[in-house]
Amino acid sequence: MADLSEFNATELNTMKHQLSGKAGDYINNPDLEIQWAMKAYHHAEVYFNILCSVEPKILNLTQMDEEIYERFIEEFPDIKIDSLDESELKSKEQKLKWNPFCESYKNVVEDYNFATLIRLDASEDYCEKNSTIVPRIQFYAIEIARNKQGLNSGLRDKYKTNKDNNTTR
């Protein structure tokens, strides 16, 4: 993030004017969208490679895994984490439940609301049909639970052949 002291008064005034418009007046910058997509894909690729390299049950995604896990299973006991239903996960009712959960980690978990790819089916790799975007803390909550409950444990054996043969997943 830029240090505002690097800008002169005219530049700051121009930025103020540009940022004071209605949100609907802004268009998405394709370059930023590509950068976000690349970062999200890279995160997904690294995470999946870790799942295929170590036993997920011993993996810690944050320093707060236990707290996040306990709170998640208490507040969301009915979510089928082995196979997420995207429409249910993103329903208005679920968003209302998830919002306070997510916001409570605002100053605690870095990039807590950064858009992150998650696999819908825990037994499969990332692909267009098996991925959706969630806030980072929601990804952590679901993936920590999957790891602790052994739902990601089969990935190493399932995809080991591909890694050993140097083929793509």
Band (pLDDT 50/70/90 cuts) for residue 30 is: confident
Distance CA(127)–CA(117), nearest Å, equals 10
- The 10 Å Cβ neighbour count of residue 65 is 18
pLDDT digits (tens, 9 = 90+) for 74-123: 999 999 999 999 999 999 999 999 999 999 999 999 999 999 999 999 99
Q: Tell me the two tokens of residue 136.
A: 């980072």
Q: Tell me the two tokens of residue 56.
A: 């997920």
Please count the helices (runs of H) and the strands (runs of E) in the chain: 7, 2
What is the percent of the chain where pLDDT is above 90? Answer: 64
pTM of the entire structure? 0.77
